[in-house]
Amino acid sequence: MNSRELMIAAMRREPTERIPTMPQICHDLPVRIYAGEFPTGGRDWLDGLQRCIEDPAVIYDLVIRLVQQVGCDGLRLFIKPEPMRIVRNGDELIVLDRETGDRIGRIDTHGGGELVPDRKLAPVESLEEYRTRLELMRREFTDEKMALLRQARARVPDLFVASAPGGITMNTYTALRGREQAMIDFFERPDFVSAAMDMQADVMIERAERLLTTGIDCLYIGDPSASASLISPRHFERFCLPAYQKFCRHFQGKDTLIYIHICGNSRPILEMMADTGADVVEPLDPLGGVEVADAKRRIGGRVALMGGVNTLTLASGTPEEVRAEAIRKCREGGPHGYILAAGDMVPPGTTLANLQAMVDVVTKSLWRAESD
């Protein structure tokens, strides 16, 4: 099996010759690892991040380069945002209006490179407004962006590629209603929440259908705002679960793999995550109290599992500590139906040596060698 075939078999809980790995790498990690190597030069990783924001196609280059260098079996290639006009001021990246040159916000340099606007849009109040805003989100998946993803996917034909249609539940809802108001809505406007989530699922299904035309192998759904760290299991069951199930049902029988990502404390909702109809539950975040062994016992007979390596160990531990933890996770989750990965996005401060140590545990089958 090549890496792509290995990942597909593992997600289907079929026997594999070894455990595969898809660490969950975002572009802010290779930006730091390859700081100063950009063709235009640069003082530090912030200059690299600026280039990615001004020319988002570079993001694919960086992620593919790092994944190939360390020997991962799979990677995530997300749809790129529109290019932004950036001016650097010390350690801040200021975003300017592309036409007027006026400041419109700043880049969150510590949280993935997202735009933090100076003026937030007013919360959506009616379902009609909600539908209008969701239609704008649907149109964001342009032919040009699909072509870029298709080209990037074609560069790694033997690797497994996942992409995301967007936030089906809480991430999108809190973006349109505001985080505090979203929580109040659970009690004051429950019917509005349910209707909005249902509309979100429809739009994300349309966006997912577009993604599948690019040759990707898997759809990534879920969001951190749906974890039991932020909302109760009761609210997850009432508002989030139906939307996830609607999405997954749409792709049943279409040979489409889906994995659901809810980081933080997902222990109280593991069974419901499996009930969504997704093929894989991820990322089994130890910082949220989730244990791979517990997840394997509770839902491992229904879904594959991915993740579990503590992000703090990756960010601040030694390669030996990363290796030891990855070995433990493989023994808890393996030998089949488990994919080695971080307990959330690989932290941007992770060293190349630490990332390589985690990957080597499965590509060199170190977890088996040390148990023999």
Q: Is residue 112 part of a domain?
A: no
Q: Is residue 247 part of a domain?
A: yes
d(CA 63, CA 35) in angstroms, rounded, equals: 13
Q: Is residue 259 part of a domain?
A: yes
d(CA 31, CA 44) in angstroms, rounded, equals: 9
3-state helix, strand, coil in the chain (%, to 5): 50, 10, 40
d(CA 342, CA 153) in angstroms, rounded, equals: 22
- Cis ω for the linkage preceding 335 (within 30 of 0): yes
Q: How many domains in the chain? A: 1
Q: Is residue 109 part of a domain?
A: no
Q: Is residue 328 part of a domain?
A: yes
d(CA 118, CA 272) in angstroms, rounded, equals: 38
89-137, pLDDT tens digit by residue? Answer: 998 999 999 999 999 999 998 877 788 899 988 899 999 999 999 999 9
55-74, pLDDT tens digit by residue? Answer: 988 999 999 999 999 999 99
Domain of 260, in residue numbers: 3-82+121-369
Mean pLDDT computed over 204-213: 97
DSSP assignment, residue 264?
A: S
Q: Is residue 93 part of a domain?
A: no
172-206, pLDDT tens digit by residue? Answer: 999 999 989 999 999 999 999 999 999 999 999 99
Q: Is residue 87 part of a domain?
A: no
Look-up: residue for tokens 């400041």? 103
Identify the CATH number of the domain in which residue 257 sits: 3.20.20.210
Pure H helices in the chain: 3-11, 28-33, 45-54, 57-70, 127-139, 143-154, 170-177, 179-188, 190-212, 233-235, 241-250, 270-275, 292-299, 311-316, 319-333, 352-363, 366-369
Q: Is residue 94 part of a domain?
A: no
